[in-house]
Amino acid sequence: MFSDIQESVSITDTNGSIIDVNTAYCDTTGYSREEVIGQNPRILKSGKQPQEFYTAMWQQINELGYWRGELWNRTKDGDIYACLLSITSLTNEHGVVTHFIGVSTDVTKSKQQEEKLDLMAHYDVLTGLPNRALFIDRFNQAIAHSKRSETQLAVCFLDLDKFKPVNDLYGHDVGDQLLIEVSKRIQSSLREEDTVSRQGGDEFALLLSDITSINQVEQTLERLHYSLSQPYLINGNVHNITLSTGITLYPTDNGDIDTLLRHADNAMYQAKQTGRNRFHLFSIEKDKEISQKNHRIDEINQALLKDEFELYYQPKVNMLTGEVFGVEALIRWHHPDKGIIPPLNFLPVIEGTELEVKVGNWVIESALNQLAEWDKIGLAIEVSVNIASEHMLSSNFLTDVRSAFAKYSEVNSQLLQLEILESSALGDLNAISDIIKSCQKEFGIKIALDDFGTGYSSLTHLRNLPVDIIKIDQSFVRDMLDDPSDFAIIDGVLGLSDTFNREIIAEGVESTNHGLLLLLMGCVEAQGYGIAKPMPAGDFPLWLTNYEPEQLWLQFACTQLSPKEKKLQLFALIIEQWQSTFTKNILSSLEDSERWPIMNSDHCFCTEQLNRIKQEKLLAPEDFTVLAKNHELMHVNAQQLYQQYIDGDIDNARNGLAEFQTIVNRIKPLLNNISAT
């Protein structure tokens, strides 16, 4: 039996020296009988059990006479194997222990099978990530830790964007390889204490522990989204995918794992709805807002289907020649109950959605249709339309534009102009640049950068975007006569446009003096309420017939002003604006008074220009002294009237305007009578 039994058998003396082993022992351990005789069984020690394990084992043998259990041993070749071992002490007729017999069975295969079954029960077979069952167990541990440490726990639900086409076009083997690579990138973007689980298909879940703020979660997800958006090279083909993620925070969202996962899933769906490749935080309040927004989006979509939108047209003029050379198409919503709704009340709602593309295509087609209608009456005029950068970056943009031109083949494509908001052009500049070049080359249309100066990278845009035209934002033009900062911005934009060889147009021209100041600065093209408000297409031909150019603008074209004269006239315009604004406020009620001009003479726009006149010696010293003195008197007098006005002594303040006007009138002759009036 000792020789033929399949179990390994070893016999040791009371000192622990091996005195005999059977054949099975040699087969299992790799040692020959001669090699182990006289050795201690510890030659098989694997190091996987601590010393405490062996101490407890021998304590039981000494007390009970036997021990049985599992342990890991090491063969002569260094391979580790699992065995089921029983050790029994042998005694003589006097009860004295004389030997120990160890009988062991190799259970490595069964242990491996057990581990495999455990792996299958708790881990995803394809990616090796924890599955839903293990994720739930980790969640329970994380919840307990969150309560102890009083920190938050983030539950995130991830879904790959447009993963299905990879399977459809390249097969499931490629799809599986992509999922494996995605899993690796997710793991490398997380901390050791975080958990990522594959929930099935292309869906994953995250547990982020020890969260102190939502910013911490957002930083992790930004890093994760960036990592996953990098190209994947599989079998020689490059694949690009993105990620949509939903987030919910425990204990703010205090629910069980199923509830939290459902909320994170809902948030992920919102991320998909708002354009994919982003993350969205679940909250009850925000979900209500989203629900309302979805209702608004649906309402706007219905308005598009019911043909409730209309384009209004605002003229653009060359102030020097008086020519009306173009119009800007501006969308309006004719709501059946609310009347006309301006674009700022509904376009931001659809920003980044598929509906934005639909509305954008409608605007282009409607503008082309109007060009075709005007062509029938012999009216050929440039029409510019506003295009969102997301629309321009959509996959079918050029195809849609091409189809629109094919539908209106009688229209000269060069009469259409596209305007891109600078604030929305902060995305993929290379992609937008390529599309702009395609539009210019294929259709011959011009591209304008709208609201220039309001974005964060104006110089970058000028350098990288091959736009034809720069539009100065109306917020700068509106206050350019009052605010030295706005004046300086416009002056800088004009310099940039000249440096980069771009055409320029100013929007927001509300008065004759706005136009005169722009002409003095070198800008000749303009639009704004001082020229005409946006109007329905049917009103434009009659307006054009009756349009009378501003005579002061035309006179400017016929006047050859020296640089000195231009600067003096600029000062005259600023003084006139200061006087006009101040007088208008004094004559208004307290409730109707608007923004006052800068009352402190040390900081007003007039003083800044006055200092330039002095530095550049544009006036004789004696004339400048008189000018500066009257300017100071103007401020002193205005300050007195202003104080009376705000103290409620309005009548006396108004009665004092005559003296104020007298002081202002002393300034004008000093400027060689070249003021705007």
Coil vs helix vs strand at 581: helix
Q: What's the pLDDT tens digit per position in 238-292? A: 999 999 999 999 988 888 888 899 899 989 988 888 888 999 898 777 667 777 8
Mean pLDDT of 524-538: 96
Q: What's the pLDDT tens digit per position in 434-469? A: 999 999 999 999 999 887 766 544 566 677 788 999
The whole-model pTM stands at: 0.61
Please tell me the number of Cα atoms within 13 Å of 69 on its side-chain side.
13
Query: Which pLDDT score, from 0 to 100, does residue 229 have?
Result: 92
* DSSP alpha helix (H) spans, 189-282: 214-229, 257-273
Distance set, CA 586 to CA 389, 480, 574, 657 (Å):
45, 22, 18, 8
Coil vs helix vs strand at 114: helix
* Strand residues in 15-129 grouped as ranges (E): 18-21, 66-74, 80-91, 97-106
State yes or no: pLDDT of 161 exceeds 70. yes
Q: What is the mean pLDDT of the chain?
A: 89
Phi, psi of 533 (to 5 degrees): -80, 160
Asked if 67 and 60 touch (Cβ cutoff 8 Å), the reply is yes
Query: Which pLDDT score, from 0 to 100, does residue 465 have?
Result: 83
Please tell me the number of Cα atoms within 13 Å of 119 on its side-chain side.
11
State yes or no: pLDDT of 359 exceeds 50. yes
State yes or no: pLDDT of 87 exceeds 70. yes
Query: Which pLDDT score, from 0 to 100, does residue 603 have?
Result: 80
Asked if 331 and 349 touch (Cβ cutoff 8 Å), the reply is no
pLDDT class of 675 with cuts at 50, 70, 90: very low
Structural tokens at position 265 = 């899933």
Query: Which pLDDT score, from 0 to 100, does residue 595 have?
Result: 82
Element (H, E) at 420: strand 416-421
DSSP 38: T
Asked if 526 and 509 touch (Cβ cutoff 8 Å), the reply is yes
Neighbours of 272 (CB within 10 A): 16
Neighbours of 185 (CB within 10 A): 16
Query: Which pLDDT score, from 0 to 100, does residue 457 have?
Result: 47
Query: Which pLDDT score, from 0 to 100, does residue 425 have?
Result: 53
Mean pLDDT of 460-485: 85
Asked if 375 and 367 touch (Cβ cutoff 8 Å), the reply is no
Neighbours of 312 (CB within 10 A): 20
DSSP bridge partners of 280: 246
Query: Which pLDDT score, from 0 to 100, does residue 422 have?
Result: 61
650 vs 265: CA distance, rounded Å: 63
- Helices 284-305 and 257-273 pack at an angle, to 10 degrees, of 30
Sequence letter at residue 188? S
Mean pLDDT of 388-403: 91
The per-residue b/e assignment along 28-65, b for 16 or more CB within 10 angstroms, e otherwise, is bbebeeeebeebebeebeeeeeeeeeeeebeeebeeee
Q: What's the pLDDT tens digit per position in 206-224? A: 999 899 888 999 999 999 9
Structural tokens at position 447 = 């591209």
Determine whether 463 is exposed, middle or buried from the number of CB atoms within 10 Å of its CB (0-12, 13-18, 19+): exposed
